[in-house]
Structure 1
Amino acid sequence: MEKKSPIGIIGAMEVEVNSIIAKLSGEESDSIAGLLFHRGELEGVPVVVAECGPGKVNSAVCAQIMILKYSPRLIINTGVAGGVGVKIGDLVAAECCVQHDFDTTAMGDPLGTLFLRRGGDSEDILKLPCDSGAREVLLEEARSIYGGAHAGVIATGDIFVADKEKNRWLGEKFGARAVEMEGGSIAQVCYMNKVPCAVLRAISDSANDDSPVDFPSFAKETAEKSAELLIRAVRKL
């Protein structure tokens, strides 16, 4: 029987991937560009797991290496985020991602519009799509783990949002349900390479004035729930 291509899993922080790596059977690792890629099986399914580091460039580099080296059939970006109109302890699975800090409005473009090339053609895109089938599987499993599980827009930028007005604006401008620093860039790389992706964010804070205090307290707990979710869902993906 032909072995399936792996599922790729990327988290920005050690706490977001350690619980998954610990569950791998036959774990081996490769070091590429200073990043460690852990290969093995999770519930009998081949996976490759990496900690990319925070921010859009780190996560894009990691995703592109993962695609070129391991040819994953799906990339899942998991981690924690600030919630926009959702509760701490909930989960948001992206319908799409936007990059809220990409700004060429001075040239007349809508805020967040990206300029991509695919197959030699140029394309303007605001909402980076995520795979609907993977999202539904993950949401189904999430409903028994989290206080609430939501599908919606995830907003990405190289900013740790800790401001009530910025939080409100992201919801109004983009319809965002969560704000973080990696999902949109991973979704962009997957879109350019025609690889399906899913972006999951457990809500660890409210992306407001209290965020720097809330974040360390909730990150470990919410990341562990995300690991439990992936362990349950991976055989259905």
Structure 2
Amino acid sequence: MAEKPIGIIGAMATEVEALLAAMQEEKVEEFSGLAFHSGTLEGVACVVAECGPGKVNAAVCAQTMVLRYSPRLVINVGVAGGVGPQVHIGDLVVAAACVQYDFDTTAMGDPLGTLFIRRASGENEDILLLPCCEEAAGLLLKEARSIYGGAHFGVICTGDVFVADAEKNQFLQEKFEAHAVEMEGGAIAQVCYMNSVPCAVLRAISDCANDDSPMDFPAFTKMAAEKTGKLLGAVLPRL
């Protein structure tokens, strides 16, 4: 039986183009209106897809990838806004867990971000922090610190909002002890959790999720995305 691939999902072309350029034995298939590129990266079977920004796009891509390719691990890569004064443009953040901070049923008494997971067995579950694979996160963090130095490990917040607000930034840090905020990781982590597939989220900081973000994001996105591509190339053979 062929080895199950590692799935890699980025929201934008910039976030996956270096991986696609390096892919060997590439085959492209279309499902759910998205292009899935399967082949090898550093000798490792992989499938790479660009999902588009936002939680629904990310979830559709991740669920399709799980059903069609049965990945042994799904990695979400890309850029993010830094949360907190210790995180700077160019740093890398590896998720210990993800939270969908814009899922709000607080009016019903639930903590902000609590998700309702429905199971076929009838044993439904409420979950706040969506877990990431400890082994994969540990390898990514170790390599990130070895190559770049500026690497952090902690909660990554996901929501359907491009955060460019210092007050929101501070809120996310205080509420969730977050290190980064973006628009896809938590949705991919939820799909993986519901399907019992390990996942990892790796983000390079392109802006500081504050008033300067509309200018910093386009200026630093390419540089930040290149970092995640280089890091994955170094780590994939060990995942």
The answer to whether residue 2 in structure 2 is matched with residue 3 in structure 1 is: yes
TM norm structure 2: 0.97
Unaligned runs of 5+ in 1: none
Match of 2:78 in 1: 79
Distance in 2 (CA, whole Å) between partners of 1:147 and 1:214 is 21
Following superposition, the deviation at residue 144 of structure 1 comes to 3.0
**Runs of 4+, deviation exceeding 3 Å:** none
Match of 1:151 in 2: 153
Note the 1:53-92 alignment, pairs <5 A: 53-85=52-84, 86-92=87-93
Following superposition, the deviation at residue 3 of structure 1 comes to 2.6
Letter in 1 for 2:135: G
Letter in 2 for 1:11: G
Distance in 1 (CA, whole Å) between partners of 2:54 and 2:178 is 18
Following superposition, the deviation at residue 45 of structure 1 comes to 0.5
RMSD: 0.8
Distance in 2 (CA, whole Å) between partners of 1:47 and 1:181 is 23
Q: How many residues align?
A: 236
Note the 1:1-237 alignment, pairs <5 A: 2-85=1-84, 86-120=87-121, 121-237=123-239
Unaligned runs of 5+ in 2: none
Higher mean Cα deviation, 143-152 or 158-167? 143-152
Letter in 2 for 1:117: R
Distance in 2 (CA, whole Å) between partners of 1:163 and 1:146 is 27
Distance in 2 (CA, whole Å) between partners of 1:203 and 1:195 is 26
Following superposition, the deviation at residue 145 of structure 1 comes to 2.9
Following superposition, the deviation at residue 123 of structure 1 comes to 0.1
Distance in 2 (CA, whole Å) between partners of 1:11 and 1:50 is 7
| Secondary structure in 1 matching 2:146 | coil
**Any conservation in 2 of the 1:153–1:175 contact (CA below 8 Å)?**
yes
Following superposition, the deviation at residue 147 of structure 1 comes to 4.1
Distance in 1 (CA, whole Å) between partners of 2:148 and 2:185 is 20
Distance in 2 (CA, whole Å) between partners of 1:184 and 1:46 is 24
Per-residue Cα deviation, 1:197-216 (whole angstroms, up to 9, x for no partner): 00011011000000010001
Letter in 2 for 1:172: E
**Any conservation in 2 of the 1:145–1:225 contact (CA below 8 Å)?**
no
